[in-house]
Each structure stands twice: as C-alpha cells, then as structure tokens.
C-alpha cells in the first residue's frame, strides 16, 4: 500500500478520514463544508497567481 495517491478516503485539505458528511467537488473529497470552502478559496487564489505578476 502506497501512501502517495491513496488519499481517496481522506479529506483533500486536512487529511482526515472521510465520514458521513464527506463532500465531493471537482473529483476531490472533503470531510466538511469548511474544508471544501478552503479548497475553493485556494483554487481561486491559485488562479490569480497563474497570471504573471511581473509583466
């Protein structure tokens, strides 16, 4: 069993085991609404950072 790539049953954000409240979004799984929100916030900030800040 590999630790890498075996996160299907863990929260994408905090790594907790997924329980009954697990949420799936964009093919990623989250233990709770807060983690999903955090992921979405990071996705948005990542999108912004993809735009070059120096040109």
* CA–CA dist 23, 27 (Å, integer): 10
Element (H or E) spanning 30, and its range? strand 28-30
Least Å from the CB of residue 31 to Zn ion: 4
What is the contact surface with Zn ion in residues (CB under 5 A)? 11, 13-14, 16, 31, 35
Least Å from the CB of residue 42 to Zn ion: 13
Element (H or E) spanning 35, and its range? helix 33-50
Cβ distance to Zn ion smaller for residue 16 or 37: 16
Least Å from the CB of residue 32 to Zn ion: 6
């Amino acid at each position: 069993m590999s630790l890498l790539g075996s996160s299907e049953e863990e929260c994408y954000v905090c790594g907790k085991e997924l329980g009954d409240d697990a949420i799936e979004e964009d093919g990623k799984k989250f233990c709770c609404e807060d983690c999903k929100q955090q992921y979405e916030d990071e996705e948005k900030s990542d999108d912004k950072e993809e735009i070059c800040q120096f040109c």
